[in-house]
Structure 1
């Protein structure tokens, strides 16, 4: 028996309980400063190679990738950007029939995978079949021209949510090179320029603070540090270097 989209979503640690309004609009998490960046109808949500949840509306927010099924009461899925370990545009028909956005996912904890399998009614045979399915999602717009537009927005939002810590490895911070590599050239250049500008401002502020600290240290006696230098020179003159 083929696994259902809902069963795979649980296995992949994809959120399946998404808060919606009566009009099936996504409720944003204002406490997390979440904002809607893009909304696109008629996007198919495919898990693994070919397990489809059907068509729905894709919402790209500054915190999540949220897909809402078109049918009333239908499935809804949400992913946090740190769950996405790789994202790319796929146009190779040998990989997938239509151009799409490919997401490779962190498969989540073992407890979550076991819980997802236990909730599914398919039984042990289906669980064994699930084990062979890679943790992948494909976002397939009906309008192929939307692929590049949506991918750019996804990259921009993902850059706002870097995965900063490796579980079990303490306070280890990732290099941002992978995130930067996913940005288009214009966005990447803008990010670098903004950081350089911020760095120069910080440097100027630090210089002013350093100068103020030096003035406070010296006080009203600019020559307070000169005696040590002069004493050192006199000692060298009288004793000379040793070891002739």
Structure 2
């Protein structure tokens, strides 16, 4: 969720970094003014400052699930870049003649893709960029993307290790029967013992054959 509000209140808790006098530029060409940037455990808030036209700056609140990328940018100017999967629309953007969507020169650009907006937060001191980036890392880590949480057991829950390659039938027998857990465990131990004995017998047979051949 992305919230733009004319009112501002300081985040009450979970502040990872608070930095005053941070300039916010949208899509590289729309200057929203200077305000305080709050990177918290729950969201990212920019507000409580002065807008480009001299009045109060708008308050922009970003929730971590809407932030698809964050990075430090050096060119064309230093700043902390946040890319959000939301098309930000503000009166200031229309007044500055930048309401049109940015042009993407990539041949693979798809007009049906989810709308995106690039926000560049520019601190007064470039040395603060690294701390801003680290605070974003910490906040983002508290809100992992559910799509990245893949259950490794989903594809093949019974083949998580080489032991099931040799004892797959044992596992299936125990699962399909109605025996108790104790009986199943005893049965598995017996089958493993039989398999081991069978292996030893095969090895002895092969050794005898080798002696005869010699």
**What range is the shorter-chain TM-score in?**
0.5 to 0.7
How much has 1:15 moved relative to structure 2?
A: 1.1
Residue equivalent to 2:58: 75
Greater fraction of residues in helix: 1
What do the CA deviations read for 1:14-59 (whole angstroms, capped 9, x no partner)?
31127644xxxx244xxxxx61111000110110012011111000
Cα shift at 1:87: 1.1
2:41 aligned with 1:59, yes or no?
no
When residues 149 and 121 of structure 1 are mapped into structure 2, their CA distance, relative to the original with a 3 A threshold, is: closer
- Structure with the higher fraction of residues in strand conformation: 2
2 CA distance for matches of 1:41 and 1:156?
Answer: 20
Aligned to 2:156: none
The Cα of 1:163 is off from its aligned counterpart by 2.3
Does residue 151 (structure 1) correspond to residue 133 (structure 2)? The answer is yes
Unpaired stretches in structure 2, ≥5 consecutive residues: 104-115, 151-179, 195-214
Residues 163 and 122 from structure 1, CA distance in 2 versus in 1: closer, same or farther, beyond 3 angstroms? Answer: same
Separation in 1 of the partners of 2:21 and 2:70?
Answer: 20
Please show how residues 42-191 of structure 1 align to structure 2 within 5 Å: 42-71=21-50, 73-92=56-75, 96-97=76-77, 99-107=78-86, 116=89, 129-132=99-102, 135-164=117-146, 173-174=147-148
CA pair 39-120 structure 1, distance change in 2 beyond 3 A = closer
Cα 1:122–1:104 change in 2 (3 A) is: closer
What SS does structure 1 have at the residue aligned with 2:32?
strand
Structure 1 residue ranges (4+ consecutive) displaced by more than 6 angstroms after TM superposition? none
Greater Rg over alpha carbons, structure = 2
CA change 1:81–1:40 in 2 (3 A) is same
Q: Could you tell me how far 1:107 is from its partner in structure 2?
A: 2.5
Q: Which runs of 5+ in 1 are unaligned?
A: 1-12, 29-33, 165-172, 177-215, 234-244
Aligned to 1:38: 17
Using the TM superposition, give the Cα deviation of residue 61 of structure 1 relative to its aligned residue in structure 2, in angstroms: 0.4
Q: Is the 8 A contact 1:63 1:81 kept in 2?
A: yes
Q: Is the Cα–Cα contact under 8 Å of residues 88 and 102 in structure 1 kept in the other structure?
A: yes
Matched-pair contact (CA < 8 Å) for 2:48–2:59: yes
- The normalised TM-score by structure 1 is 0.49
Structural RMSD (CA): 3.7
Q: Residues 23 and 121 of structure 2 are in contact (CA less than 8 Å); yes or no, is this contact kept in structure 1?
A: yes
